[in-house]
């Protein structure tokens, strides 16, 4: 890796959320000419002859107040012809974005006067956050700071620091920047420069093919919710440290970008706002209290809370992305939104739990990407939100949605021992949920590829007939069990094919979740909002799973495991206290995301049904997605994400063994 790449990599490790989620603000087109100037950047290089930087104190002097303010832009003149001019405004709580980073580039080289590659300086530059719509105006951040340390070398006793400021303002030679001494001496070097419209690619790896069109905040209609909170049950608490859930829907839209902006964007904004009126937790925050506070986390909504909604444009090949063939996983990551980190508020930390990104591929289609914290809901509650949103977007009103009587049920009526809350809340790593916590993020530099495999109804029927011949005592096998067993077997064989060092006693595990709404005693409504799923595990030796009877044994064990879990006479909560321990067992596990019970290909916002659906979050581990197929609700669609070489092996094994079984069954 080059020095520049290493520096950028380290910088992003330290400030991942800030650098990957920021975009320069673009003022509205009606702004005065001066306001359309791009930001000016200024770097000052200092030497620090201490092993550690001294404490930085941020002055709250009134003289610095404009720097902790925002540029306020008002809309075009009202009908009376009165137009408010832009202004700087500071309100309590406004702040300066301050980033600390580390770089391994050559400090001496950077402070020279000789020609140097401009790209070397870009990782040292802080960004200005995007503009945001607030009530009847747009506010634009105007100042940010990044402090970057260049670590001490073995041959040198000093530890240089660069301090960089970004302001939307011109510079003047009357200011002697070489007199600026923070306490470590005067600057070694000062550099000023600016960019012409396009940001340096080092700032955002996705800039080559993704352009942000708009970032906005969507709230429920004013005064429709008020302040509400939703306690978390042990079903929710178990997901506190789980990775975010990423979903991606691809819709065909063979029209121009301007038509997308004029029709799709206003519709999705309006319909999402109306939908949030009925599904307030999605426009809420996860509230976490400090370790010494015994209060359990909760989901809380206050007036003004919102969903972060991003609109973007992408130049990738839409038709390639909606295919079933292997495609680079990293191509999909820019299309899913991120969740911002935690914010310290009074005596608690609040975390956003839902965000949306809509990305247009001009003259081809658009994607709707969803990201949610798993404590918010399981797949069932999330699917109910999508059904409501699509109905409201398609018909322009919530009347049809309300007529179906499918409003979410928020009462916490599940009966279970109190000790389960304590067990799931007192996870040993729960204290990491503070303002410095950042959600796990997908890494773009990966060799993983994703592909989709469809088992048709005819193939499923052939597999069922063959299995029942091998297991005559098995009266029934579901399509879900059959398909999962076959995929699990092929994944294990593909991994062993590449790594033949496995021993006879090594284990493989399959995991899925079961919806307990109708199975609890007493049962809860099917519209119960939140998480209400429990795990079901199946474990088998690798040598058995990869043997001649591997598929047959997998079907038998998964069927038995699901049946015993569902039919448990002692109640599904009998072993709930062991769920966390079983989740962290270090055994290769193939988990399942999604369910064929939810028709994701029936979600029509008014521009037709999805052309493709992807569960992007399976890339966090070795999981598979299972859904009905886009071609027929009787077919099953399996999404896989594997290293490229393993995917090649899987494709070969999947096709050969399926052909062999069907040939044997029909002969």
Beta strands (DSSP E) in 284-364 are: 285-288, 298-301, 307-314, 327-328, 343-345, 348-352, 354-361
Angle value at C-alpha 39, between 35 and 43, nearest 5 degrees = 150
Does residue 299 surpass a pLDDT of 80? yes
Q: What is the pLDDT of residues 522-542, one digit of tens each?
A: 899 999 999 999 889 999 999
Nearest residue to 322 via CA among 21, 647, 637: 637
Burial class (CB in 10 A: 0-12, 13-18, 19+), 666: exposed
- Verify whether residue 434 is a known catalytic residue: no
What pLDDT score was predicted for residue 110?
Answer: 79
Does residue 426 surpass a pLDDT of 80? no
Same fold, 3-203 and 210-432: yes
Domain 210-432 is found in CATH 3.40.720.10 = no
Which residue in the list 106, 317, 575, 604 is annotated as catalytic?
Answer: 604
Which residue in the list 301, 374, 439, 598 is annotated as catalytic?
Answer: 374
Superfamily of domain 448-605+614-666: Chloramphenicol acetyltransferase-like domain (3.30.559.10)
Nearest residue to 134 via CA among 78, 83, 75: 75
- For residues 605-622, average pLDDT: 96
Residues 423/639, Cβ–Cβ less than 8 Å? no
Does residue 215 surpass a pLDDT of 70? yes
The stretches of 576-631 forming alpha helices (DSSP H) are: 579-583
Alpha carbons within 13 angstroms on the beta-carbon side of residue 327 total 19
Q: Is the C-alpha dihedral spanning 114, 119, 123, 128 positive or negative?
A: positive
- Verify whether residue 374 is a known catalytic residue: yes
What pLDDT score was predicted for residue 66?
Answer: 77
Axis crossing angle, helix 479-498 with helix 457-470, rounded to the nearest 10 = 80
Q: Rounded to whole angstroms, how far apart are CA atoms 456 and 661?
A: 14
Burial class (CB in 10 A: 0-12, 13-18, 19+), 630: buried
Residues 25/130, Cβ–Cβ less than 8 Å? yes
Residues 103/9, Cβ–Cβ less than 8 Å? no
What pLDDT score was predicted for residue 180?
Answer: 74
What pLDDT score was predicted for residue 183?
Answer: 74
What pLDDT score was predicted for residue 19?
Answer: 30
Q: What is the pLDDT of residues 474-498, one digit of tens each?
A: 989 999 999 999 999 999 999 888 8
The pairing of strands 589-593 and 507-515 is parallel
Domain 3-203 is found in CATH 1.10.3470 = no
Domain ranges of the chain: 3-203, 210-432, 448-605+614-666
369 strand-pairing partners = 248, 357
């Amino acid at each position: 890796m080059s020095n520049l790449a290493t520096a950028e990599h380290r910088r992003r490790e330290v400030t991942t959320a800030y650098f990957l989620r920021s975009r320069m603000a673009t003022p509205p087109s009606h702004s005065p000419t001066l306001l359309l100037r791009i930001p000016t950047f200024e770097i000052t290089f200092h030497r620090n002859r201490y092993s550690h930087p001294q404490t930085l104190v941020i002055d709250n002097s009134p003289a610095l107040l404009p720097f902790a303010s925002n540029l306020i832009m008002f809309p075009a003149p009202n009908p009376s012809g009165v137009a408010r001019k832009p202004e700087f405004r500071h309100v309590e709580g406004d702040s300066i974005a301050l980033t600390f980073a580390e770089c391994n580039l050559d400090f001496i080289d950077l402070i020279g006067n000789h020609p140097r590659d401009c790209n070397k300086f870009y990782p040292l530059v802080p960004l200005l956050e995007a503009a945001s719509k607030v009530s009847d105006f747009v506010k634009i951040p105007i100042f940010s700071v990044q402090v970057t340390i260049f670590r001490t070398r073995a041959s040198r006793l000093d530890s240089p620091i660069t301090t960089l400021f970004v302001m939307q303002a011109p510079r003047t030679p009357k200011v002697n920047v070489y007199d600026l001494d923070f306490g470590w001496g005067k600057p070694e070097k000062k550099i000023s420069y600016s960019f012409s419209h396009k940001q340096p690619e080092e700032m955002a790896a996705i800039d080559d093919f993704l352009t942000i069109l708009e970032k906005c905040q969507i709230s429920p209609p004013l005064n429709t919710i008020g302040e509400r909170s939703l306690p978390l049950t042990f079903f929710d608490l178990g997901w506190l440290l789980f990775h975010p859930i990423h979903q991606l829907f691809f819709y065909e839209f063979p029209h121009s970008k301007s038509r997308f902006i004029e029709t799709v964007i206003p519709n999705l904004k309006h319909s999402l706002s109306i939908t949030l009126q009925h599904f307030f937790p999605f426009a809420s925050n996860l509230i976490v209290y400090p370790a010494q506070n015994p209060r359990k986390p909760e989901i809380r909504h206050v007036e003004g809370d919102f969903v972060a909604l991003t609109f973007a444009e992408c130049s990738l090949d839409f038709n390639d992305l909606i295919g079933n063939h292997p495609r680079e996983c990293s191509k999909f990551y820019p299309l899913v939104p991120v969740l911002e980190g935690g914010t310290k508020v009074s005596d608690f930390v609040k975390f956003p739990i839902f965000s949306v990104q809509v990305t247009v591929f001009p003259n081809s289609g658009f994607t709707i990407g969803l990201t949610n914290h798993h404590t918010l809901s399981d797949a069932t509650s999330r699917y109910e939100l999508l059904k409501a949103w699509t109905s409201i977007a398609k018909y322009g009103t919530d009347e049809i949605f309300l007529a179906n009587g499918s409003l979410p049920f928020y009462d916490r009526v599940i009966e279970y021992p109190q000790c389960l809350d304590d067990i799931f809340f007192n996870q040993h790593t729960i204290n990491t949920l503070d303002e410095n916590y950042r959600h796990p993020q997908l890494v773009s530099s990966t060799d993983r590829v994703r592909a989709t495999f469809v088992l048709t109804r005819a193939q499923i029927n052939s597999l069922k007939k063959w299995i029942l011949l091998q297991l005559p005592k098995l009266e029934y096998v579901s399509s879900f069990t059959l398909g999962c067993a076959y995929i699990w077997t092929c994944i294990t064989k593909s991994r062993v094919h590449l790594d033949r060092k496995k021993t006879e006693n090594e284990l493989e595990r399959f995991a899925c979740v079961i919806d307990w709404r109708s199975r609890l005693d007493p049962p809860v409504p099917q519209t119960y909002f939140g998480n209400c799923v429990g795990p079901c595990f199946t474990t088998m030796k690798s040598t058995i799973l990869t043997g001649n009877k591997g598929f047959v044994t997998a079907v038998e064990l998964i069927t038995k495991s699901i049946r015993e879990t569902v039919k448990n006479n002692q109640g599904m909560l009998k072993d709930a206290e062991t769920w966390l321990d079983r989740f962290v067992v270090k055994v290769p596990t193939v988990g399942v995301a999604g369910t064929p019970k939810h028709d994701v290909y029936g979600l029509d916002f008014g521009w037709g049904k999805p052309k493709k659906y992807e569960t992007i979050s399976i890339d966090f581990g070795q999981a598979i997605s299972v859904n009905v197929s886009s071609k027929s609700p009787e077919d099953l669609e399996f999404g896989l994400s594997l290293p490229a070489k393993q995917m090649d092996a899987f494709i070969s094994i999947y096709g050969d063994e399926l052909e062999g079984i069907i040939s044997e069954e029909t002969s």
